[in-house]
Amino acid sequence: MFIRKFIGAFLILFIAIPILFGVTWVVGLVKASVSPGFLTELPREIIDKIPASVDEIFQAAQNQPRPADPVIRAWFQAAAKTGITPHELMEKTGLLGWMRGELSGSLRQIGEVLRGESPIRSISIDLRPLKNALLHPEMDKYLEGTLANLPLCDAEGLKAWQARAAGFDSQLDLPPCRPDLVLAKDILLSERTRAVRNMDDSVQVLEDIRPFPFDRFGITRTVILTSYLLFLIPAIIILLSVLIATPSPAGRLRWAGISILAGGVPALVLAFGIKKFTFWALGSGYFSWHTTWTTDFGRLVMDKLRWIPLQITDRLFSPVVGVAAVVAVVGVVLLALSASARSKTGVVKS
């Protein structure tokens, strides 16, 4: 009897519980990563909030308490003197309309396909309105106004502009000064045109696939249901282990319940802990951005956009917490059934 319990405990401790822990995390992350809420609804929420955040960054960059980024601050102050906010510029050039129309609409269509509400079909995002917005005359006017608000270049600044015009030091920041306006406009407009020319006209985000499960149940539902089948692996191992370890039904239920709790509770605690720790770290600003960003402007941007990783963390780890909680509940139910079976056995014997 001791040998049987030893073999059962060995299988549970070193095989079943680690596999159950891993499967819980895999299923939770799969559920999060293929859900329409994560792939389509979250990006649409971010799109709606981005213009306001850009305005906040634009305003804060002009009033940084520390002049550690004088070049960036000077450029932002010159742009502010044009009297046009980034939100207004995005609206005038059509960029905001593209984000809330074409981009948001494509994401909505993807969500409908993933949920099985719409037939599977090829969906692509048209980038031509974005390219047109970047080449819009209002963008030229904005750049010209920004350049006009810069002070005249000294010899060193003029040399830097001329070096950029000649194709040298393309990675070096342009100094916040005004050389010959024709030269400056040519440099900025040519670099912008080159960047736009290198962009694709469209990006395909979903292909037309029609295998049996997807067209009937939807991509998201099919992938999630398939991932749940992974629980069969630890379930079979636990079943074989308890059959080896004990002959009584109550004992088997007790062993199975303890095994499932031992795999589900650590997964629940870890997922919940990572989620709350990330919320605390990003929300409170405890972690500075010195390790990732080397400039005050980079840290300012991250401070204003910290809500994005917070929302991503919530959408990513909440399904893991939910799956782990269900696993833990199954363990508790099996323990309750084992206690009930044990009490009934005691009554029968009496």
Render pLDDT for 228-261 as a digit per residue (tens, 0 to 9). Answer: 999 999 999 999 999 999 988 899 999 999 999 9
pLDDT at residue 340 greater than cutoff 70? yes
For residue 347, what pLDDT band results from cuts at 50, 70 and 90? very low
pTM score, whole prediction: 0.76
| pLDDT tens profile 99-138 | 888 888 888 888 887 777 777 778 888 899 989 998 999 9
Q: Kindly write down the DSSP assignment for every residue of 47-106, as one continuous string.
A: HHHHHHHHHHHHHHHHT-SSTT-HHHHHHHHHHHTTT--HHHHHHHHTHHHHIIIIIHHH
* pLDDT for 108: 84
| pLDDT tens profile 322-336 | 999 999 999 999 999
Q: Are 328 and 63 in contact (CB under 8 A)?
A: no
Q: What are phi and psi of 42, to 5 degrees?
A: -65, -50
The verdict on residue 243 lying in a domain is yes
**Domain with 320 in it:** 2-127+200-345
Determine the distance from the C-alpha atom of residue 145 to the mean position of all C-alpha atoms in its chain, rounded to a whole number: 36
Domain count, the chain: 1
The verdict on residue 165 lying in a domain is no
Looking at the DSSP bridge assignments, the partners of residue 337 are none
For residue 286, what pLDDT band results from cuts at 50, 70 and 90? very low
Q: How far apart are CA 326 and CA 266, in angstroms?
A: 13
The verdict on residue 279 lying in a domain is yes
Average pLDDT over residues 199-220: 71
204 contacts: CB under 8 Å, gap ≥ 6: 122, 123, 124
The verdict on residue 284 lying in a domain is yes
The verdict on residue 137 lying in a domain is no
For residue 184, what pLDDT band results from cuts at 50, 70 and 90? confident
| pLDDT tens profile 22-46 | 999 999 999 998 888 888 888 888 8
The verdict on residue 160 lying in a domain is no
The verdict on residue 313 lying in a domain is yes
The verdict on residue 331 lying in a domain is yes
Q: How far apart are CA 244 and CA 19, in angstroms?
A: 19
Q: Are 114 and 33 in contact (CB under 8 A)?
A: no
